[in-house]
Amino acid sequence: MSQDKTLLDVRGLRTAFHTEAGAWPAVDGVDFTVRRGEIVGLVGESGSGKSVTGFSLIGLIDPPGEVVAGEVIFDGVDLCTQTEEQLRKLRGDRIAMIFQDPLMTLNPVLKVGEQMREAIFTHYPKTTRKQADARCVEALEMVGIPSAATRLDNYPHEFSGGMRQRVAIAIAMLNQPELIIADEPTTALDVTIQGQILYQMQKLCRAHDTALIWITHDLGVVAELADRVAVMYAGRIVETGTVDEVLSAPRHPYTRGLLDSMPSTAEPGQRLHQIDGMAPTLAGREIGCAFRPRCPNAIARCAEVPPENTVEGERSYRCYVPLVQELV
């Protein structure tokens, strides 16, 4: 890799679901970058396209869904042009995914140790059993699982929900990935455990220079964990920037709405209150800015053409009438 610190460069990504009513653009022209070792929060309300974005990055979209356009450049290679076999080699090795439900990663009928060893042998077949066991124990210890060596002989159901998610995170970290995509992995956990896992993830990513895309509803989590944030609305990223900039002085009215709907004590685990109005339908998305029907500041032009991305240094946003606020 050159001096360029960009690890992932997503350009014009479009993913559609083919339905009877037409092609639903779940991801509708998404651009963002992730640098090596950087933690990026991908935030937005339910249905905004966060999970579909995460799955699209690593070729996990199944019919009726399809990535119909765009590039996902990972360390110089466009993943959209890779074969399924090439992608399988990357997944679980250089790129790992953590899901909201750890049972999407964990096989209920296999002992945790067997699954972890398998995750190593798949990508590094020359590893000895002894080396693999040592790595498994190390990974479980890293995520704070006590008595790691004996825990290898347990089945997933013998762990609590929080511990199971830690095991899934340990599996993701096993082969020291360069990028982890985490889709709301702590949403189902109680606030204290969520806080511990966030803290540990951040520490691990910093220690190993691992980049992390953390998908969440929760701006409190983003504030605690991330370096940068991308705010998603109706399949588009409507604002990006450093967490400090975006959360203290948002440009996009949707980001403002998300902030205003946060509980006053911005603790992780609190869900967003609803912003007034409905998310757009297919017909409503064909023209203009998708947020216009819910936007307090909309002008005539917003109904005509969707705003292009305006770039201001680290920050970018899609809005004709951006909020002007000083950083506090």
Positions in the binding site for ligand ATP (CB under 6 A): 17, 24, 26, 44, 46-52, 64-65, 217
Which tokens belong to 282?
């297919």
15 or 51, CB closer to Mg ion?
51
* 56 scored as a contact of Mg ion (CB under 5 A): no
Amino acid at 117: R
What are the C-alpha distances in Å from 316 to residues 16, 65, 302, 319?
A: 24, 28, 18, 10
Binds 44: which of Mg ion, ligand ATP, none (CB < 5-8 Å by kind): ligand ATP
Which residue's CB is nearer to ligand ATP, number 47 or number 263? 47
Contact predicate 16/30, CB 8 Å: no
Element (H, E) at 165: helix 161-173
Q: Which of 169, 189, 183 is nearest to 232 (CA)?
A: 183
> d(Cα 240, Cα 237) in Å, to the nearest integer?
7
Shortest approach of Mg ion to residue 214 CB, angstroms?
A: 12
Is residue 51 involved in binding Mg ion (CB under 5 A)?
yes
124 binds, among Mg ion, ligand ATP, none (CB under 5 to 8 A by kind): none
15 contributes a contact to Mg ion by CB under 5 A: no
Question: Is 53 among the residues that bind Mg ion (CB under 5 A)?
Answer: no
From the CB of 54, what's the least distance to ligand ATP, in Å?
Answer: 8
CB 327 → ligand ATP: shortest distance, Å? Answer: 28
Choose among 256, 262, 282, 286: nearest CA to 274.
262
DSSP state of 104: G
- Residue 142 or 246: the one with the smaller Cβ distance to ligand ATP is 246
Taking CB within 5 to 8 Å according to partner kind, which of Mg ion, ligand ATP, none is near residue 12? none
- Closest distance between ligand ATP and the C-beta of residue 191, in Å? 18
Whichever of 61 and 169 has its CB closer to ligand ATP, that residue is 61
CB of 144 to ligand ATP, least distance (A): 26
Closest Cα to residue 197, out of 177, 179, 214?
214
Structure tokens at 321: 């009438």
